[in-house]
């Protein structure tokens, strides 16, 4: 995440993949497996799985949550367009919204809205980029949220998806080769629960505090 926080476009992709490798190493160690025996690398909306000793050493699995959110956004009435340049250097879909600011439940009026938002491996930024906020600074902040998503997916959501599909027998195991039902995010649930119990503003959540520590951009206005 520190690489992402440098706000360098060249370092953004590397920072995301290093986060994924670190989480994969931690997961392998937790199950007493060889380090780097099972590595997940995100190219949203896919997870690329690398298992050097497997019969299929490199496979790609679709993130159900990321694909569903991408489909929902692209078919919405606002019709954002893909920023291919930023998408390629990030490793996740980066969309430009025609809206001047993005509606945000955590920033009600008189707040004008959010500069950019991350959700399920997808980043959207508003049309006011370059006028009232620095796009690269803001994308660095949202990319840290992307790294948080990846960390949680590798540590919890992907293993939970594999375990759940395994219970459906051969059909479930076959399905798990192509899909990840990445809905179980315990760290995210704990963060949301703590914030609701405390009644604090969104920017005081653990996730926002961590993201601002590495990349201060992206504050609501």
Residue 106 confidence (pLDDT): 67
- Which DSSP letter does residue 126 get? -
Lowest mean pLDDT among 52-66, 73-87, 101-115: 101-115
Q: Is the pLDDT of residue 14 over 60?
A: yes
Q: Do residues 116 and 8 touch, judged by C-beta distance below 8 A?
A: no
Average the pLDDT over 49-74 and give the result: 94
* Mean pLDDT on 90-99: 95
162 closest CA partner among 148, 146, 182: 182
Contact, 95 vs 122, CB < 8 A? yes
Name which of 119-123, 135-139, 158-162 the model is least confident about.
135-139
CB 135 within 8 A of CB 122: no
Bridge partners of 63?
Answer: 180
pTM: 0.89
pLDDT at residue number 151:
95
Which of 179, 181, 159, 174 lies closest to 62, judged by CA? 179
pLDDT of 79 reads 85
Look at residue 108 in the predicted model and tell me its pLDDT: 63
């Amino acid at each position: 995440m520190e690489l992402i926080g440098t706000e360098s476009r060249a370092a953004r992709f590397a920072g995301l993949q290093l986060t994924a490798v670190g989480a994969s190493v931690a997961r392998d160690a937790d199950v007493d497996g060889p380090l780097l025996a099972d590595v997940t690398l995100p190219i949203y909306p896919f997870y690329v799985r690398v298992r050097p000793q497997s019969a299929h050493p490199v496979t790609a699995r679709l993130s159900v949550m990321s694909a569903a959110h991408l489909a929902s956004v692209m078919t919405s009435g606002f019709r954002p367009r893909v920023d291919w340049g930023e998408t390629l250097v990030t490793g996740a879909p980066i969309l430009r919204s025609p809206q001047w600011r993005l509606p945000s439940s955590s920033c009600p009026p008189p707040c004008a809205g959010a500069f950019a938002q991350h959700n399920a491996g997808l980043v959207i930024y508003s049309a006011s980029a370059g006028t009232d906020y620095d796009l690269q600074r803001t994308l660095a902040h949202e990319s840290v949220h992307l790294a948080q998503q990846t960390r949680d997916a590798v540590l919890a959501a992907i293993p939970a998806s594999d375990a759940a599909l395994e219970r459906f027998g051969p059909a479930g195991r076959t399905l798990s080769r192509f899909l990840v039902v990445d809905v179980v995010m315990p760290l995210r649930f704990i963060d949301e629960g703590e914030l609701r119990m405390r009644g604090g503003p969104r920017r005081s959540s653990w996730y926002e505090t961590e993201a601002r520590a590495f990349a201060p951009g992206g504050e609501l206005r």
